[in-house]
Amino acid sequence: MSIIPEELQEKPGPPVLFVGDFSANVERYAWENDPEAGAGYMQFWYLSLTASSLQGIRAVWANLIKGEHGTLRFSGGQRNRFCRLWNGGPQTWKSRIDALPQATAHQLTLLPEPSRFEAQRPDFVILTRNADDVSWTHMRYLRQRLAIPLLPEWEDWLWRRALYRNEAFQLDSSTNLVAYRCEPNVDRLKEDIEAAGLAGELYVPPPKQSSVA
């Protein structure tokens, strides 16, 4: 029996998203189970698509933003899944379409509001290509979103705490993406910082005392 060398074996193609009568290749994604739709359904928290037709990729986007379900089909025998965008409403999704250089294709990138750094909300979505950057990105979002003074030296402790407190949930994602959905509990975070300071786990600066004239 002949064995085909690995470099000559056919590589599985990217998954394909079908929505209505249109389809697009999925380059990157992050998703989790959809609690509203039921078992077997997924919801996207990030999506990057490519298609040769600009009209086709716009049609996929138009159907998704209306809340329609699609089917994500994988090559290589992996189970197909029903899916839709996170149901935050059309206004919570930001889209961008780019013409790919040196290719007759267009790329659609979809970002939900929680992933955008400037969003005015306490919850957020971490999207990074490197797992080593997760704790730093988590710290960056916390300092932007929460009205709590946080020291840079607390980065590792804050990330370990978020995982322990179930305030950070890893999302299923494509192999070229690391994604977490984070829901910080502000009151509990304040309590944990105070307790860690008293236990000597964190350096907590003493409160500034007002000068008395």
Average pLDDT over residues 122-151: 95
pTM of the model: 0.87
- Give the pLDDT confidence score for residue 82 in this predicted structure: 95
- Give the pLDDT confidence score for residue 210 in this predicted structure: 60
Give percent above pLDDT 90 in the chain: 75
Domain boundaries, the chain: 13-114, 117-198
- Give the pLDDT confidence score for residue 211 in this predicted structure: 55
Average pLDDT over residues 124-142: 97
- Give the pLDDT confidence score for residue 70 in this predicted structure: 96
Residue 101's identity, in one-letter code, is P
Whole-number Å distance between alpha carbons of 75 and 205? 55
Query: Are the C-beta atoms of residues 197 and 203 closer than 8 Å to each other?
Result: yes
Whole-number Å distance between alpha carbons of 95 and 79? 28
Using alpha carbons, list the distances in angstroms from residue 159 to 46, 135, 165, 179.
22, 5, 10, 14
- Give the pLDDT confidence score for residue 205 in this predicted structure: 79
- Give the pLDDT confidence score for residue 101 in this predicted structure: 79
pLDDT per position as a tens digit, 56-108: 999 999 999 999 999 999 987 678 899 999 999 999 999 999 988 766 899 99
pLDDT per position as a tens digit, 140-190: 999 999 999 999 999 999 999 999 999 999 999 998 899 999 999 999 999
Mean pLDDT of the chain: 90
Q: Does the pLDDT value for residue 1 go beyond 70? A: no
